[in-house]
C-alpha cells in the first residue's frame, strides 16, 4: 500500500507538454489553459471616469475648486468628445463637463466629482463636498499589454471574462485526453429505469462525467461482474481512450475482476492499494501511453479519489498543475474518527462558527455530500482535530 501523497506524486509525474488546440472562447469553459496568457491591450485603453459626475482640472491638486466651474457639455461612454460647444477642445481651467462612467476623460481633465456632491445652476457648477480620490481609472490600470493576465489553469467564468476583455474570441487550450468512464457491478441499474430486486442505481458514472466536465469524457457504459466481459470491455476501451476510469470491482470480493482483467489486457500495475480512506483498494496502471484508474465502487470513494487522483492525472496530461482550493477554518467542534492507520478525508460543512463534520457513516453514504462544502484531512496517527484548531478545508463547492 502506498501513501496517498505518493499516489498524487505519481499522477503529477505524468505531466507532459500537451497537444494544443484553438477553440472558440464560448467553448472554453472548463478547458485547461496550459500556457500563460499575455495581455494584448492596455485595459482600459484610455483614462476613464469611474463615476457619473463632473470632469474637471484642479490648478494644483486641490480637491475643491476655489471658484464655481463653467459647465461645458456632456461626455457619454463610447464618445471621444464633449457634446456641446467646442466639442473637441480640451477642458480648460475653470471648466467642467458632465461625464458618464466609462467615458474617456477629456484632455485637460484629471478628476471626476460625483454628481451627488455637486450642484449646477445657471451654467455654473459648485462642489458641496471634497472627493478623497480622483475617480479616474488610468489607462492600463486593470491590465497592461504584455502583462501575464492568466497563469495556466482550468478556465472558469471569470477567466473567460478576462480573455474576452483582452479582445480574444478564440483561445489556445490543451487538447483533452480522451477519458473513458466505465462502471462495473452486476447490481447496477441505469437511472431512469425501474429498480428491481437487489439492484441499485449507478451514480458513479453520472458523478464522474459531471466531476470531470471540461475534459473529453466518454460514457462507456456499465459492466456486469464477469471476467470475460470485463476483459473485452477494457481491451476495447484502451484502444479508444488515453485514460480509463473504472468504478467498482477492485477490492477483495469474489467477483472483483478488474485488476485481473486489466492484467490480461496488458496493463502494467503501478499501484493497487493506497493508505487512504475512502479509497484503499484504488488501482493505477499503465499500458503504453495509456492510463487506467480503478476506483472502489462506493460513491464517496469515487468522489474523493476523482478529486485527489483523477483530476491530478488529467491536469498533468494537460500540462497544468491541479490546484484545489483550501480554506483555513477553525473547527467549530471536535472532529473525531475511528482508526488512524490511513489518511482520511472527512466531509465537512462550514458555517459562521467554523467547520464541522456532516452526518457521515462511511464511503457508501453519498447523501453526506449534499451538505459537505469540502473535506478535512486527518493524517496517519491522527484521531481528531480539536475544537478551535484552525484546519485546512479542501473545498469542493
Ligand atoms: P465494489 O467496489 O465493486 O466492491 O463496490 C462497493 C460498493 O459500491 C457496493 O456496495 C456497490 O454496490 C457500490 N457501487 C459500485 N458501483 C457503484 C456505482 N456505479 N454507483 C453506485 N454505487 C456503486
Ligand atoms: Mg462491485
Asked, for residue 22, whether it belongs to a domain, the answer is: no
Asked, for residue 266, whether it belongs to a domain, the answer is: yes
Q: For ligand 1, is residue 281 a contact (CB within 6 Å)?
A: no
Do 241 and 309 belong together in one domain?
A: yes
Do 232 and 247 belong together in one domain?
A: yes
Do 376 and 244 belong together in one domain?
A: no
The end-to-end CA distance of the chain, in Å, is 30
| pLDDT score recorded for residue 85 | 81
CA dist., res. 45 & res. 93, Å (int) = 25
- pLDDT of 368 higher than 90: yes
The SS3 call for residue 284 is strand
With a CB cutoff of 8 Å and minimum separation 6, the contacts of 160 are 25, 26, 28, 29
Give the domain CATH number at 34.
Answer: 3.90.105.10
Q: For ligand 1, is residue 298 a contact (CB within 6 Å)?
A: yes
Do 279 and 217 belong together in one domain?
A: yes
- pLDDT of 14 higher than 90: yes
* Dihedral angle sign, alpha carbons of residues 39, 44, 47, 51: negative
Do 245 and 311 belong together in one domain?
A: yes
Asked, for residue 202, whether it belongs to a domain, the answer is: yes
Q: For ligand 1, is residue 183 a contact (CB within 6 Å)?
A: yes
CA dist., res. 35 & res. 37, Å (int) = 6
pLDDT band at 364 (very low <50, low <70, confident <90, very high): very high
Q: For ligand 1, is residue 186 a contact (CB within 6 Å)?
A: no
CA of 185 to the centre of ligand 1 (A): 7
- Say which residue the cell 497537444 belongs to: 19
| pLDDT score recorded for residue 27 | 96
pLDDT band at 259 (very low <50, low <70, confident <90, very high): very high
Burial of 62 (0-12, 13-18, 19+ CB in 10 A): exposed
Closest ligand 1 atom to residue 256 Cα is 3
Closest ligand, as measured to the CA of 203? 1
- Say which residue the cell 499522477 belongs to: 11
Closest ligand 1 atom to residue 250 Cα is 2
pLDDT digits (tens, 9 = 90+) for 260-312: 999 999 999 999 999 999 999 999 999 999 999 999 999 999 999 999 999 99
Closest ligand, as measured to the CA of 198? 1
pLDDT digits (tens, 9 = 90+) for 205-240: 999 999 999 999 999 999 999 999 999 999 999 999
Closest Cα partner for 88 from 112, 64, 104? 104
Closest ligand, as measured to the CA of 366? 1
CA dist., res. 37 & res. 159, Å (int) = 10
Q: For ligand 1, is residue 248 a contact (CB within 6 Å)?
A: yes
| pLDDT score recorded for residue 393 | 98
CA of 279 to the centre of ligand 1 (A): 12
Q: For ligand 1, is residue 347 a contact (CB within 6 Å)?
A: no
- pLDDT of 352 higher than 90: yes
Do 34 and 110 belong together in one domain?
A: no
| pLDDT score recorded for residue 9 | 98
Averaged pLDDT for residues 33-52:
97
Q: For ligand 1, is residue 253 a contact (CB within 6 Å)?
A: yes
CA of 208 to the centre of ligand 2 (A): 16
Do 31 and 170 belong together in one domain?
A: yes
Answer for the pair 109, 87: CB distance below 8 angstroms, yes or no.
no
Residues with Cβ within 5 Å of ion ligand 2? 185, 248-249, 297
Asked, for residue 120, whether it belongs to a domain, the answer is: yes
**Nearest residue CA, atom 6 of ligand 1?**
297
Give the domain CATH number at 380.
Answer: 2.40.340.10
Do 198 and 265 belong together in one domain?
A: yes
Structurally, the chain folds into a number of domains equal to 4
Asked, for residue 21, whether it belongs to a domain, the answer is: no
CA dist., res. 396 & res. 307, Å (int) = 8
Do 81 and 154 belong together in one domain?
A: no
Q: For ligand 1, is residue 159 a contact (CB within 6 Å)?
A: no
| pLDDT score recorded for residue 302 | 98
DSSP state of 373: S
CA dist., res. 224 & res. 201, Å (int) = 13
- pLDDT of 61 higher than 90: no
CA 276 to chain CA centroid, Å, is: 24
Provide the 10 A C-beta neighbour count for residue 324. 13
Closest ligand, as measured to the CA of 188? 1
CA dist., res. 304 & res. 310, Å (int) = 9
Closest ligand, as measured to the CA of 246? 1
CA of 297 to the centre of ligand 1 (A): 4
Closest ligand 1 atom to residue 187 Cα is 12
Q: For ligand 1, is residue 34 a contact (CB within 6 Å)?
A: no
| pLDDT score recorded for residue 100 | 98
Residue where a domain stops, chosen among 317, 336, 354: 317
pLDDT band at 114 (very low <50, low <70, confident <90, very high): very high
Asked, for residue 53, whether it belongs to a domain, the answer is: yes
DSSP state of 302: H
* DSSP per residue, 306-356: IIIIIHHHHHHHTTS-----EEEEEBSS-EE-S--SSEEEEEEEEETTEEE
Closest ligand 1 atom to residue 281 Cα is 2
Do 302 and 185 belong together in one domain?
A: yes
Residue where a domain stops, chosen among 317, 337, 354: 317
Give the domain CATH number at 227.
Answer: 3.40.980.10
- pLDDT of 104 higher than 90: yes
Parent domain of 292? 4-16+176-317
| pLDDT score recorded for residue 299 | 98
Q: For ligand 1, is residue 204 a contact (CB within 6 Å)?
A: yes
Closest Cα partner for 204 from 99, 278, 94? 278
Q: How many helices (H) and strands (E) does the chain have?
A: 7, 30
**Rounded to 5 degrees, what are φ and ψ at 184?**
-115, 145
Answer for the pair 341, 243: CB distance below 8 angstroms, yes or no.
no
- pLDDT of 158 higher than 90: yes
Do 234 and 330 belong together in one domain?
A: no
Give the domain CATH number at 75.
Answer: 2.170.190.11
Do 86 and 121 belong together in one domain?
A: yes
- pLDDT of 345 higher than 90: yes
**Nearest residue CA, atom 16 of ligand 1?**
297
CA dist., res. 311 & res. 56, Å (int) = 54
Amino acid at each position: 500500500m502506498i501513501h496517498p501523497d505518493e499516489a498524487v506524486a505519481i499522477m503529477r509525474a505524468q505531466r507532459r507538454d500537451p497537444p494544443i488546440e484553438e477553440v472558440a472562447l464560448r467553448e472554453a469553459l472548463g478547458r485547461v489553459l496550459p500556457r500563460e496568457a499575455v495581455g494584448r491591450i492596455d485595459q482600459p485603453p484610455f483614462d476613464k471616469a469611474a463615476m457619473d459626475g463632473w470632469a474637471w482640472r484642479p490648478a494644483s491638486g486641490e480637491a475643491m475648486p476655489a471658484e464655481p466651474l463653467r459647465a461645458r457639455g456632456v461626455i457619454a461612454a463610447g464618445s471621444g468628445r464633449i457634446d456641446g460647444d467646442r466639442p473637441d477642445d480640451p477642458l480648460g481651467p475653470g471648466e467642467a463637463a458632465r461625464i458618464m462612467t466609462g467615458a474617456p476623460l477629456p484632455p485637460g481633465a484629471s478628476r471626476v466629482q460625483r454628481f451627488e456632491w455637486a450642484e449646477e445652476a445657471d451654467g455654473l457648477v459648485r462642489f458641496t463636498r471634497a472627493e478623497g480620490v480622483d475617480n479616474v481609472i488610468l489607462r492600463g490600470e486593470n491590465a497592461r499589454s504584455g502583462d501575464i493576465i492568466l497563469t495556466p489553469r482550468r478556465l472558469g467564468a471569470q477567466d473567460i471574462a478576462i480573455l474576452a476583455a483582452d479582445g480574444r474570441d478564440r483561445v489556445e487550450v490543451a487538447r483533452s485526453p480522451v477519458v473513458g468512464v466505465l462502471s462495473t457491478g452486476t447490481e447496477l441499474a441505469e437511472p431512469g429505469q425501474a429498480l428491481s430486486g437487489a439492484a441499485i442505481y449507478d451514480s458513479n458514472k453520472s458523478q464522474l462525467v459531471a466531476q470531470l466536465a471540461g475534459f473529453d469524457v466518454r460514457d462507456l457504459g456499465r459492466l456486469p461482474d464477469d471476467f470475460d466481459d470485463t476483459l473485452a470491455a477494457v481491451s476495447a476501451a484502451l484502444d479508444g481512450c488515453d485514460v480509463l476510469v473504472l468504478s467498482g470491482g477492485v477490492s477483495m470480493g469474489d467477483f472483483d475482476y478488474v485488476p485481473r482483467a486489466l492484467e490480461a489486457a496488458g496493463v502494467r500495475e503501478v499501484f493497487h492499494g493506497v493508505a487512504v480512506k475512502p479509497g484503499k483498494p484504488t488501482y493505477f496502471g499503465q499500458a503504453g501511453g495509456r492510463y487506467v484508474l480503478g476506483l472502489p465502487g462506493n460513491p464517496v470513494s469515487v468522489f474523493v479519489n476523482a478529486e485527489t487522483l483523477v483530476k491530478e492525472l488529467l491536469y498533468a496530461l494537460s500540462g497544468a498543475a491541479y490546484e484545489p482550493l483550501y480554506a483555513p477554518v477553525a473547527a467549530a467542534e471536535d472532529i473525531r474518527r475511528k482508526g488512524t492507520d490511513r489518511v482520511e478525508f472527512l466531509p465537512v460543512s462550514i458555517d459562521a462558527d467554523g467547520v464541522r463534520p456532516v452526518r457521515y457513516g462511511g464511503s457508501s453514504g453519498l447523501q453526506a455530500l449534499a451538505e459537505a462544502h469540502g473535506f478535512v484531512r486527518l493524517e496517519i496517527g491522527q484521531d481528531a482535530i480539536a475544537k478551535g484548531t484552525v484546519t485546512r478545508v479542501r473545498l469542493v463547492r
